[in-house]
């Protein structure tokens, strides 16, 4: 099973010849039996070097927090409902990521992630720190590079909750169970993947918020290299449509940055 995801539960094990990926997510609406794009909700732009390593990653979102990194900003001066984040990366001589830095729209460092490897060159741990240098989470990995445990800490450095992961590669399934600091069960999440390593179904049960199973499904369209260029997510009530423009090294394309003239990007700065 080849997993080629840049971020998420299963780390990337294959490097792509991406030059950049421009991604747009829209609120989707159903019209005449089709799901069409409506309001632009978020935008991201990822730039890679020829070795396949991420150089920079920009993300801007409206009316939402950045859940993957759990960074919540108060918003830009021009739009209190808009968040902008920039990520930069450092690598060792083996091409392994050793540091990820997250900045706000003013270029202020708000989060840092440090990655550590064992003597065999396998990733063992990732520690995340906030703007004050306090540890906010730590992740441990198995010998295959999969996250098996994540500990999340409060402002005083005490364990707030723990996430444990189980993998069933023959079924392309990942299960995540969340516990509080006393090891009381709080939440179960199950991710199901297709043969290309993309999430096609997400189920969750949150005991803390007292709701039953929630199911989110995804549909994909792929380019000739089997990388997805369109995704439709359905949570039963709403749709989100994400399109990706993927440019590979060796292709003719002069675009190296987003469309900064668009009103949506008017306050972005590198």
- What's the CATH code of the domain at 45? 2.40.160
Strand partners, 61: 42, 83
- Inside any domain, residue 11: no
Number of domains observed in the structure of the chain: 1
Q: Which is more confident, 31 or 77?
A: 31
pLDDT at residue 260 greater than cutoff 80:
no
CB 240 within 8 A of CB 25: yes
Q: Which is more confident, 21 or 74?
A: 21
pLDDT at residue 87 greater than cutoff 50:
yes
What percentage of the chain exceeds 90 in pLDDT?
Answer: 52
- Most confident among 38-52, 53-67, 161-175 (mean pLDDT): 161-175
At residue 135, the pLDDT reads 97
At residue 2, the pLDDT reads 33
pLDDT at residue 92 greater than cutoff 60:
yes
- Write the pLDDT tens digit of every residue in 159-169: 999 999 999 98
At residue 218, the pLDDT reads 93
- Inside any domain, residue 270: no
Per residue, what are the HEC states of the chain? CCCCCCCCCCCCCCCCCEEEEEEEEEEEEEECCEEEEEEEEEEEEEEECCCCCEEEEEEEEECCCECCCCECCCCCCCCCCEEEEEEEEEECCCCCEEEEEEECCCCCEEEEEEEEECCCCCEEEEEEEECCCCEEEEEEECCCCCEEEEEEECCCCCEEEEEEEEEEHHHCEEEEEEEECCCCEEEEEEEEECCCCCEEEEEEEECCCCEEEEEEEEEEEECCCCCEEEEEEECCCCEEEEEEEEEECCCCCCCCCCCCCCHHHCCCCC
Single pTM value for the model: 0.79
- Inside any domain, residue 166: yes
Kindly indicate the confidence band of residue 80, based on its pLDDT and cuts at 50, 70 and 90: very low
- Inside any domain, residue 158: yes
- Inside any domain, residue 203: yes
- Inside any domain, residue 148: yes
- Inside any domain, residue 5: no
The range of the structural domain enclosing residue 228 comes to 18-262
Kindly indicate the confidence band of residue 60, based on its pLDDT and cuts at 50, 70 and 90: confident
Q: How far apart are CA 117 and CA 98, in angstroms?
A: 9
- Inside any domain, residue 50: yes
């Amino acid at each position: 099973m080849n997993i080629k995801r840049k971020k998420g539960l299963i780390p990337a094990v294959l490097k792509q010849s991406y030059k950049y990926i421009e991604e747009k997510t829209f609120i989707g609406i159903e019209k005449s039996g089709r799901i069409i794009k409506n309001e632009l909700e978020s935008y991201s732009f990822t730039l890679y070097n020829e070795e396949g390593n991420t150089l920079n990653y920009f993300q801007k979102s409206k009316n939402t927090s950045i859940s993957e990194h759990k960074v919540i900003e108060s918003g830009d001066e021009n739009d209190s409902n808009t968040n902008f984040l920039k990520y930069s990366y450092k690598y060792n001589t083996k091409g392994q990521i050793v540091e990820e830095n997250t900045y706000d729209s003013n270029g202020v460092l708000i989060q840092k992630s440090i990655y550590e490897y064992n003597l065999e060159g396998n990733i063992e741990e990732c520690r995340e720190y906030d703007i004050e240098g306090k540890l906010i989470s730590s992740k441990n990995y198995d010998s295959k590079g999969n996250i098996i445990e994540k500990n999340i800490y409060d402002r005083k450095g005490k364990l707030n909750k723990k996430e444990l992961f189980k993998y069933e590669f023959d079924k392309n399934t990942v299960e995540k169970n969340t516990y509080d600091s006393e090891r009381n069960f709080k939440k179960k999440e199950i991710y199901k993947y297709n043969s290309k390593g993309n999430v096609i179904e997400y189920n969750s049960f949150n005991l803390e918020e007292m709701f039953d199973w929630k199911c989110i499904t995804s549909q994909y369209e792929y380019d000739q290299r089997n990388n997805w260029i369109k995704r439709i997510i359905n949570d039963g009530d709403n749709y989100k449509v994400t399109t990706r423009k993927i440019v590979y090294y060796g292709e003719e394309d002069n675009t190296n940055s987003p469309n900064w003239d668009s009103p949506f990007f008017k306050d972005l700065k590198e």
